[in-house]
Amino acid sequence: MRFIRYFLFDLKQGALHNKALLLTPAAIGALVFLDFLLKAHRYLAIGAIEESVSYGDYWFYLYGGMKEYTPGPDNAFSFPVVWMIVFVAVPFALVNYPFRDMGGIGQQILVRSRSRNIWWLSKCCWNFVGTVLYHLLLQAVGAALFLLFRMDLTYRIHMDFIRVVYDALHEELWERSALPLAMLVLPVLVSATVNMLQMTLSLFVRPMFGFFAATLLLLASAYLMSPVLAGNYAMAYRYDWMLKGGVTGRAGLTVAAALLVAALLLGLVRFHFYDILEE
């Protein structure tokens, strides 16, 4: 009961009253939509794609990431800017609240609750729900704009568009026509894992260094296609569903869930000894 009360409080203060969490996905969603729309029109005009794009393509544009990078003098690394913005904005929107809540009234609540575990678990749930909310808003803004422009609001994808955007070779991708619903979950789960890792790490070092580490992890994932780097499971382009020899969704679920639980437990132990007065 106490946990639910705390969680609802966190949800209200840290998510519903968090302007960054609500406005950032709206702004990013609108900007990426504009970019996506202009690109699609351009490709259509020059004949690079055969028919107009659908919502599935927009989703893929948001969460696609980048193709596997092969280092070489004639191939400079260019990070996937849309994907980086989408995934780095969440830790930014969520970085401050738990630590802000350790001072002032939050500190009083924490002291009077007499249970650090409940406080931490409530923050973990808030973090997860906040991440889901962010991604829902991001996609909802896109869907609303699709409706506004009377575009095809289905999860159909166009391989010719994907090939042009990701500069993919014909033989390295499977031929697909629609996004499976199960696939929509994994990027959000990985995003929640990264945020949880950041929050836990911020108990050991300052929150800004926690953010630094989370960003570095995402960049490393973009640079190196490896099943060890969790960010790879947040790139739809690198799933074996799309890319031949890509990372598997099952492994992604396992890695993300394991890291999520590990971060939660590690944070639980660390927070038990955390000096809240120093904050």
Partner 1 sequence: MLRQMIRMECRKAFRNKMFYIAVAEGCIITLFALVYYIGIYQNELTMMQADDVNPMHEASGLFNFWIGGEPFSFGSAAYFFMFPLLTAFPYGWSYCGEKRSGYIRIAVVQAGKKAYFLAKYTAVFLSGALAMVIPLVFDFLLSALFFPAVMPSPVYCTSTGVFYDSLMSMLYYTVPLLYVLIYLLIDFIFGGLIACISYAAACFVRYRVVAVILPLFFMLAVHYLRQFVYISAEVRYREISPMFFLRPVQAAYPASFAVIFAEMAALFFVTFFLSVIWERKHEIY
Binding stretches for partner 1 (CB under 8 A): 20, 31, 35, 38-39, 42, 71-79, 81-82, 84-85, 88-89, 92, 95-96, 99-100, 206-209, 211-212, 215-216, 219-220, 223-224
Q: Are 97 and 17 in contact (CB under 8 A)?
A: no
Q: Are 94 and 20 in contact (CB under 8 A)?
A: no
Residues in the chain: 279
Q: In angstroms, rounded to a whole number, what is the distance separating the alpha carbons of residues 239 and 247?
A: 5
State which residue, 38 or 111, has the beta carbon closest to partner 1. 38
Closest distance of CB 181 from partner 1, Å: 29
Q: In angstroms, rounded to a whole number, what is the distance separating the alpha carbons of residues 187 and 183?
A: 8
State which residue, 47 or 71, has the beta carbon closest to partner 1. 71
Among candidates 160, 158, 163, 140, which has minimal Cα distance to 67?
163
Give alpha helix (H) positions in the chain: 2-10, 19-46, 55-63, 81-94, 97-100, 104-113, 116-148, 159-165, 185-204, 207-223, 249-272
Degrees (nearest 5) of the Cα angle 264, 132, 34? Answer: 140
State which residue, 94 or 189, has the beta carbon closest to partner 1. 94
Closest distance of CB 244 from partner 1, Å: 24
State which residue, 110 or 229, has the beta carbon closest to partner 1. 229
Closest distance of CB 51 from partner 1, Å: 21
Closest distance of CB 197 from partner 1, Å: 16
Closest distance of CB 249 from partner 1, Å: 26
State which residue, 31 or 257, has the beta carbon closest to partner 1. 31
